[in-house]
Amino acid sequence: MKHLILFILVTVTYFRPQEACVKNRVVIHNELGPGRILEYHCYSNKDDLGIKNMAFNATPYVIAFHDEIPNLTTWNCLLRQGPNNKFVFDVQMYKAGPRLIPRCGQIRIWTAKLDGIYFARNLDTPPVLALRWIEK
């Protein structure tokens, strides 16, 4: 009987339904400047969201998802900006670590600015410069 109770506790704790797990989010902002468009193409190991454009200070683009177990969820976005989209960076926006328990409620905030791409892990801390644009 002790083993059955332990099995039930482990099952409920570690293998809870997806509804109990708050979705993870990747948030993309365009702070390049007035009149500057950010082009982005986001894709995971499961989904391709296509090519989209975001105007300066437009509503941030949010990708909401659950971690896939046992496959490690990864989200990448190819960001482009400038004349003829000559400034480019393929950013790994999110990668789930190797684990048996999915992460819940994770947030990754990416902000495109003229001098580079900024990153933050939560809404309470200002983003820091993480990547410099690459000119193609």
Classify residue 85: in a domain, yes or no.
no
* CB contact at 8 A, 65 and 73: yes
Do residues 39 and 81 make contact, with C-beta atoms less than 8 angstroms apart?
Answer: yes
**∠77-80-83 over CA atoms, to 5°?**
175
Task: State which residues form the domain around 108.
Answer: 18-40+52-68+102-135
Domains contained in the chain, number? 1
In a domain, 24, yes or no: yes
Q: What is the pLDDT of residues 71-88, one digit of tens each?
A: 789 999 999 999 999 999
Which residue shows structure tokens 């001098």?
Answer: 115
Q: Would the pTM of this model clear 0.85, i.e. be above it?
A: no
Domain membership flag for residue 92: no
Contact residues for 114 (Cβ-Cβ < 8 A; gap 6+): 32, 33, 36
β-pairing verdict for 107-113 and 116-120: antiparallel
Task: Read off the pLDDT of residues 82-112 as tens digits, 9 standing for 90 and up.
Answer: 999 999 999 999 998 877 788 899 999 999 9
Q: Is residue 28 part of a domain?
A: yes
Peptide bond into 70 cis (omega under 30): yes
- Of the chain, the percentage scoring pLDDT greater than 90 comes to 71
Is residue 80 a part of any domain in this protein?
A: no
CA-wise closest residue to 133 among 94, 95, 85: 85
The answer to the question of residue 106 being in a domain is yes
CB distance 117 to 130 below 8 Å: yes
Domain assignment of residue 84, yes or no: no
